[in-house]
Amino acid sequence: MSSPFAIEATDPASAARLGRLTTRHGQIETPIFMPVGTQATVKALTPAQVLDCGAQIILGNTYHLNLRPGPDLIAKMGGLHRFMGWDKPILTDSGGFQVFSLAKLRKITDKGIAFQSHIDGAKIFLGPRECFDIQQKLGSDIAMVLDECPPWPCEEDACRAAVERTLRWAAEFKGYAEDEGFLAAGHHVFGIVQGSVFDDERRECAQALSAMDFPGYAIGGVSVGEPEEEMLRQVGVTAPELPADKPRYVMGVGTPPQLLEMVALGADMFDCVMPTRLARHANVFTPDGLLNLRNERFKEDPRPIVEGMDNYTCRHFSRAYLRHLVMTGELLGHTLLSLHNVHFFLDLMRQAREHLRAGDYVPWKNAWIARYRAEEA
């Protein structure tokens, strides 16, 4: 299968690369962070605001959209892009992460996952067929195969069983995508590597998925409770086993330093709920680390969150005003802090791309992380 991904530059001192992924709804410059719109919305932000932050692609979630409002309704409304007013690329997760996060509400078999809805307890079954059908109705630009995300820690036998299911489901899902013209129409399907902390399992899973020739690949099963150094090691073990000419997506991560380290390991795409989730708890990102605007020291602070940062929040509002919104529970605070945090992550990836073009990514990365973490020392 020809790759929709083109590598434009590689870093001389690391595995980092500058790329471009072509989709039905436009091109994506990588490395890129993807804001999470689980239920067809990036929380507290309009699509225009997300676009103004520099977003090139956002995420939706198959499990949640299947429950509410349902794929048939979304298809009737013209697909997910039209339904939510977003005309750029959309990646939809498979629902496999809910195998991990909703462990008390599901049962796994070789055929798929039987859930109880976390909303009303209704019984739901999600196998490769159902997972594909939902994402086809949504009109996803990038559809993720159904996978089993093992917890951390887990025994190697349980991990091996999860990897075997993941590979079987991946092949079945890709078969539906081929047979029903989904791939031929320009949609993409990404395989997902599992394997927990077991290097051999990860390598074997990556190699088996590579042989299936997907348009792109994801590294799953990270940031599920393991220490940071273990998470980075898993990415470092997995990325070299994946085809060099295909995009690599690390799912569900991470902090700004983690993103920069994973770019150096050869990863291209990332997503995380952290920017909007922390914003709702008054936490904002700066080059000098996180700030909590509930802190009394910001009560009379006339400065923006970050001096010179080109987003609506930093151009127009002081820390003092933003703290006032937080302390009074005004909903505008959620919007303005979310806007800043999402822009911060996207701008960080923009800077990474600039330094990849310039050929000095590693020294820039090291200096950026050292400044960010200086307050932790």
Q: How far is residue 167 CA from its own chain's centroid? A: 21
Q: Which of 243, 216, 206, 218 is nearest to 96 (CA)?
A: 218
* CA terminus-to-terminus distance, the chain: 48
Q: How far apart are CA 144 and CA 94, in angstroms?
A: 5
Largest CA distance in the chain: 62
Asked if residues 33 and 349 have their Cβ atoms less than 8 Å apart, the reply is yes
Q: How far apart are CA 252 and CA 91, in angstroms?
A: 13
Active site residue 110: no
**Which amino acid belongs to residue 238?**
T
Query: Which residues pair with residue 143 across a beta bridge?
Result: 92, 189
Q: How far apart are CA 16 and CA 200, in angstroms?
A: 23
| DSSP H/E element including 358 | helix 331-358
* Residue where the block lists tokens 């000098």: 288
In our burial notation (b when 16+ CB lie closer than 10 A, e otherwise), range 215-247 reads bbbbbbbbbbebeeeebbbbbbbbbebbbeebb
State the catalytic residue, choosing from 11, 93, 268, 347: 93
State the catalytic residue, choosing from 11, 268, 271, 347: 271
Across the beta sheet with 32-34, the strand order is 32-34, 269-271, 248-250, 216-219, 188-193, 142-144, 90-93, 58-61
Active site residue 360: no
Catalytic residues: 93, 271
